[in-house]
Chains A and B, each alone.
Chain A
Amino acid sequence: MSAPVRIRPVAPSRLLPTSPQPEDLAAHVAEFGPRPIVGSALIAELDRSGLVGRGGASFPVARKWLAVAGFPSGMAKPVVVADGVETEPASVKDRTLLALRPHLVFDGIQLAAEAVGATRAVLYVSRGGESLMAALAKAQRERPGGEVYVEITGAPTRYVAGEETAVVNRLNGRTARPSVVPPRPFEAGVGRRPTLVNNVETLAHVALIARRGAAWFRQVGTAGSPGTALVTVCGGVHAPGLREIAFGQTVGDTVEAAGGPTSEAGAVLLGGYFGTWIDARGAWPLVLDHEALRAVGASLGAGVIGVLPRSACGVAETDRIIGFLARESAGQCGPCHVGLPAVSELLHSVTLGRAGQRSLETLARWASEIYGRGACRHPDGATMLLRSALSVFADDAGRHARGHPCGASRRAPILPTPALPAGWR
């Protein structure tokens, strides 16, 4: 596999404004120009741009739009859903983008609606940010006439609520839990209509590609992973928070852009809580490119990079995250809602040094048995994280399992794990 070509190591700001002031419509038009009318021709342009979804699964955007636009549905016109449900505990990219540049997302929604022929649109955002909802409503009142009306709806803050079948279920009045596919949203979505669910950052990129074209989009990034992406850097760095990266830059470049490590880094959690641990030495030169990451069994996911100091305990960090993910199971599929709590309980006793030598073998077996057996990918994400922890922190986990937990396992957490799950409605 050839190494991706690094075109520009440092990302330009395409999505992130330099000012922390929310952009109103006048400022938005002054910055980007008016929204063009492109219609269904935009789908071919998106195909040429190579844009893939920024919600976590990196699915080609043009293919998704084609599936919705081309689905034979008779009288039922498609629905566009902008997915701004951001339940990854460390991630701030979607809410920040919505707060600072709401009109870029509204432009993307309109462009999507016009391209696939949708007559209904929903902007679906995590509840809890009531000021964000109010700001979005204000931005919406500024929109020009003649556009598809965008319903702004709040989602429960459950980890899987942004998964696209969970989105469709909630917008259909059910709880925000995933369902078995097929049918996928493009076949039977909101109101059983063909439904396009795109992450809000994805739609903001669409708004720029519609104005500037696919060739412009590809000026930055790698051939296989063009463009920029919003990434939240958290954990042991001097300046944690949101960064815009260009694909092709390394994990190390990105951590340095967040002020660098506060102390020697031991490991990096790449891709958030559905992600994988990578030893810091291996992570630093790793190029942010979908194919390069896939080659090492990793992914950028929804764009969270967590830095763990070498002095911290990776076993205890993973224990807390797995506990969080077990609590966040939708409670539908046995291997997830029975299996993950069992994993969590055993891993916790490993952390405390009370589990016994065989416990690591049991955890490894459970991880491989649970993988792939849920309706959604929640159990897959949790077990991938566990497997990477058992490998990257193997020495430390072995000491814990032999009854010698490290002192660091009792220190304050580096990565956040919200305690109390909210409801599902």
Chain B
Amino acid sequence: MSLQPPRPPAGQRLRVDPILCKAHAVCAELFPERIRLDDWGYPIIDDRPIPPDLMPHARRAVADCPRAALRFAESTEPGVHSRGPD
């Protein structure tokens, strides 16, 4: 995984790696249109695809996460909970 992803097209979604995230809250400052914080400072991410006009903010939030916990996901890529444990 590269730290600077090649410019992803609009229509992608944001995902956070909840283990890496340590509530620096940089993402919510850079992209409040789609990221807010819970009562403990951890990001709650709007799962809708990102429209073109918001992509610069999304890219900045991904690039500036101090933990590299925020990333783009293909819109078809399953979330962390789509796995099938027994």
Contact = CB atoms under 8 A, between A and B. Distances in A.
B7 interface: no
A202 B86 contact: yes
Contacts of A335: 18, 38, 40, 42
B86 A342 contact: no
Contact of B39 (A180, A198, A342): A342
Contacts of B22: 334
Nearest to B36: A369
B42 A373 contact: yes
A15 interface: no
Interface residues of A, number: 39
A163 interface: yes
B38 A57 contact: no
Contact of A339 (B38, B80, B81, B86): B38
A55 B42 contact: no
Contact of A179 (B19, B23, B84): B19
B85 A59 contact: yes
Contacts, number: 81
Nearest to A330: B19
A372 interface: yes
Nearest to B47: A372
A164 B33 CA distance: 36
Contacts of B39: 342, 366, 369
A213 B46 CA distance: 47
A53 B39 CA distance: 36
B29 interface: no
Contact of B42 (A61, A202, A334): A334
5 contacts: A64-B84, A83-B86, A197-B86, A339-B40, A369-B39
Interface of A: 53-57, 59, 61, 63-64, 83, 163-165, 179-182, 184, 197-199, 202, 332-336, 338-339, 342, 366, 369-370, 372-375, 377, 380
Which 10 pairs between the two chains have the least Cβ-Cβ distance?
A53-B86, A333-B18, A55-B86, A59-B84, A334-B42, A181-B83, A338-B40, A164-B85, A332-B19, A57-B85
Interface of B: 17-19, 21-23, 38-42, 44, 78-81, 83-86
